[in-house]
Amino acid sequence: METKTIIHELRTKQGLSQEELAEKVFVTRQAVSRWEKGDTVPNTETLKLLSKLFDVSINTILGSPRTLICQCCGMPLEDTSISREVDGTFNDEYCKWCYTDGKFIYSSLDELTEFLVGHISNEKFPPEQAREYLSQALPKLKHWQN
């Protein structure tokens, strides 16, 4: 879906007029109208406000151009699994199981690996294989690179 359609849908779902939405995110009604016609897209600051107002991630408002994955454990992120900052805003770098209340849950790669091995291994994907896979994949994620 395109940004213009998404904004229109989110706005009407909340029962807001263009004017009312404009007031809430400090822009003119014309600006909202231009977004919904596809002439322009909201700027970064406005996207943050829209994300908070509609309770969806910025990536979703933009039509999901990026495939988000948690930069700690590597799982794909959706709006229901994206972590949030203490103030409720989305932090689309991490899942809510790795990052909660402003804190990271796993203090080391080993700790996370052991947890994940327990969850992803099964008869077809034995623990040794899972551990091997994770030892390749996890260090590539941003959270583990410094």
Binding site for Zn ion (CB under 5 A): 70, 72-73, 95, 98
Instruction: Give the β-pairing of 99-100 and 103-104.
Output: antiparallel
Least Å distance, CB 63 to Zn ion, is: 23
Least Å distance, CB 138 to Zn ion, is: 10
Count of C-beta atoms within a 10 Å radius of residue 39: 11
By C-beta, is 27 or 70 nearer to Zn ion?
A: 70
Cα distance between residue 46 and residue 119, in whole Å: 39
Least Å distance, CB 112 to Zn ion, is: 8
Cα distance between residue 23 and residue 82, in whole Å: 27
By C-beta, is 7 or 98 nearer to Zn ion?
A: 98
